[in-house]
């Protein structure tokens, strides 16, 4: 069964890059452009992992993750943060986000992190 990922980023270019990466490796890929859209999508379909950007309009990645993790405690979440956002990272980990990765990141490092976290997943 293919693995599935929801990618949430307000930048179209980032979404497209990540979508292509995971599709190429056989994943089912879903995408959303902000936190509200992500929350709505997760009511329809629960992926194996959520990759979410921190800085987005309307609802940022931290706020969205806090709401999402209250409802879907077992959903592994990786948040993409900017350099120096130590407070945000702390709050994210407190909310149950598994890992934060600093932008810009190496795409293969991200892919490996996603794989590692999906494999660790306890259901
Ligand atoms: Mg952003």
Superfamily grouping for domain 4-120: Response regulator (3.40.50.2300)
pLDDT, residue 122, reads 57
Distance (Å, rounded) from C-alpha 93 to C-alpha 13?
27
Residues with CB under 5 A from ligand 1 (ion): 10, 53, 55-56
Q: Are 30 and 47 spatial neighbours (Cβ–Cβ below 8 Å)? A: yes
pLDDT reported for residue 120: 87
Rounded Cα distance, 118 and 94, in Å: 20
Q: Average pLDDT for residues 66-74, to the nearest whole number?
A: 97
Interval between CA 54 and ligand 1 midpoint (Å): 6
Enumerate the domain spans of the chain: 4-120
Q: What is the chain's mean pLDDT, rounded?
A: 95
């Amino acid at each position: 069964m293919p693995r599935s990922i929801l990618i949430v980023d307000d930048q179209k270019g980032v979404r497209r890059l990540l979508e292509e990466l995971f599709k190429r490796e056989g994943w089912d890929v879903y995408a959303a452009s902000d936190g509200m859209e992500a929350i709505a999508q997760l009511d329809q379909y629960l992926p194996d992992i959520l990759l979410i950007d921190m800085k987005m309009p309307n609802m940022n990645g931290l706020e969205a993750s806090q709401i999402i993790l209250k409802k879907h405690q077992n959903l592994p979440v990786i948040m993409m943060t900017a350099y120096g956002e130590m407070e945000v990272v702390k709050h994210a980990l407190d909310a149950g986000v598994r890992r934060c990765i600093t932008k810009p990141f190496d795409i293969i490092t991200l892919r490996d992190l996603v794989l590692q976290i999906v494999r660790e997943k306890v259901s």
